[in-house]
Structure 1
């Protein structure tokens, strides 16, 4: 495998910085994030970047510590950690994974953008409302100091209204402001790959999580990948990106 001496990692960092570091917060930042993740998610370019990382280029130790297998049945693989402003990840949904259910309704700490590289993703958008709609329990979610675990603090009852449902096939991109309430899931048995970007200097201290499925545990642990498992997951992703 041609590791290319880290050129793709450097090029990705430069694109993130040049396109986003000068973007104003708000709608322009959201549009810029969508454009960048679409460009980096182009099939040939993403394959070259992941193949380079699978050779050990970049920061495999640091990226492995922030990569893990999500409880919903997909791998979250950090590709580029460009300081406090930009985190570029690949999300790999496995075919037939038993955990690929719908997420809790939530928002993020910063602007996000996602490009569907292969497969298909569904997403719902929600609005908070005073009455009617869906009954839910709201939590404030923080990252634990010194670990990647989530800490969930109950914040009372809430009601939400479904405002939009979208279906995103390969080649599609969506981008959302940090506060937007949504949930996403893979609705196909075939493997689905998305390129996911979180960006922005102004990060919220916590996210909001809403669930109608009963109380959450106060702490939800994340089990980070070790470096061999991280590199093996990247190599599997390379093979998937090369397949028809």
Structure 2
């Protein structure tokens, strides 16, 4: 069965154009004209991925993203006319998995949806062993991480980042490699997506996120796991 997409967009012309383009790509599309409408739709029946505009008439799109992300790994792609770095970072910090700016190319959006769905349907790293980063235990097959026996609440993306770094066993993993392995495509040279998710991951696993010891930056190259 084809994936079901919830398209959250208040502009009827944009909504219609995206609906037709997504239908042509084989997706089943449901529509919501505002934040409250979107939340009702998802409560009524789950979807596979959400395409979320930020400039909504009732609830701000960032708040909708936070509400959807709370306790959920639902794949979220922000589709917005806001192109500034601050806006993009705010969207990713709110919990979006990806951020696409308008005007957009339907084929590019479809590629990003497919990549996100592949991650959602195959969330685990595939490594058969328990990995370690410092005092963290990473159970790749189960898709979870623990510290001293207690599970750490990571999103799917955060877990995949941590697992990729752990599997490298202290070797540097470049930004390009992480984008390809975790997101499934080259992110057109823009590493904000990666850096924001690394920052969110550090907030959850580091004793002092300002002085990380478990996920280390190798300037100009990428990241590596601490020992």
Answer 1 or 2: which has greater helix percent.
2
TM-score, normalised on structure 1? Answer: 0.28
State TM-score, norm by structure 2.
0.29
Query: Which structure has the highest strand share of the two?
Result: 1
